[in-house]
Homo-oligomer: A and B are copies of this chain.
Amino acid sequence: MKHSMFRNYLYKKEIYEEWTMGGEKSAKRAANRLLRKQRMEEEAEAARILQEKKDQKYMRAALKQAQKAASIGEVPIGCVIVYRDQIIGRGYNRRNTDKSTLSHAEITAIRKASKKLQDWRLEECTLYVTLEPCQMCAGAIVQARVERVVMGCMNLKAGCGGSVLNILEMQEFNHQVKVTRGVLEEECSKILSDFFKQLRLHNKVEKYMNN
């Protein structure tokens, strides 16, 4: 609100100046120009808000996947891939359950999305993941030419979407990914810390029972 009031004040001032300098006609032209500018700005703002809402909606879907991981005792990380406003691939961490390092949430989602599109290129796709991807998953995202990645919380010790490395945006590779960070950051972080808190408690109880 404050921003638009300030903009209106600037616009009025510009039209007034045009009037004093070049007369009524000139002021009218300036008013039209500024009106068009204002409309474009408002449209961009509306699109931004819409995208923000969409991002939150799909991150919530990724969080749902993370909960699936937690429910089978795996570190809760979830991922969905969206193509033309439709989820075409879901995945959650199953590394210990599947006994495979390839069962990270992102890899599973990429496999499913490729199967759905019948293409190894996921060119118009956006990937939503609750935690910053590791070196393998970030690499797979670039290799699959995913257009955009939206992350929940960061992984300062091992993440490769900006923390330890930034594989996603490296100019040296033949593809760069657009990156948005911090969508539903608190929820994404909380599900992890809750999991580890419970794990520590579980281990303590087990130790106590064994003594």
Contacts and interface: CB of A to CB of B under 8 A. Distances in A.
Among A95, A101, A111, A172, chain B packs the most CB atoms within 10 A around the CB of A101
A124 to B, nearest CB: 15
Interface in A99-127: 99-104, 107, 110-111, 114-115, 118-122
The copy count of this chain in the complex is: 2
B140 A101 contact: yes
A118 B98 CA distance: 9
A165 interface: yes
A5 B42 CA distance: 85
A206 B136 CA distance: 38
B139 A143 contact: no
Given A120-B96, A173-B158, A114 B102 contact: yes
A138 interface: yes
Among A95, A114, A122, A140, chain B packs the most CB atoms within 10 A around the CB of A140
Interface in A75-110: 95-96, 98-104, 107, 110
A160 interface: yes
Interface of A: 95-96, 98-104, 107, 110-111, 114-115, 118-122, 134-140, 142-144, 158, 160, 164-165, 167, 170, 172-174
Given A102-B110, A102-B114, A136-B143, 13 more contacts: A95-B120, A99-B118, A100-B111, A100-B120, A101-B121, A102-B102, A134-B139, A135-B135, A137-B139, A138-B139, A139-B167, A164-B172, A165-B172
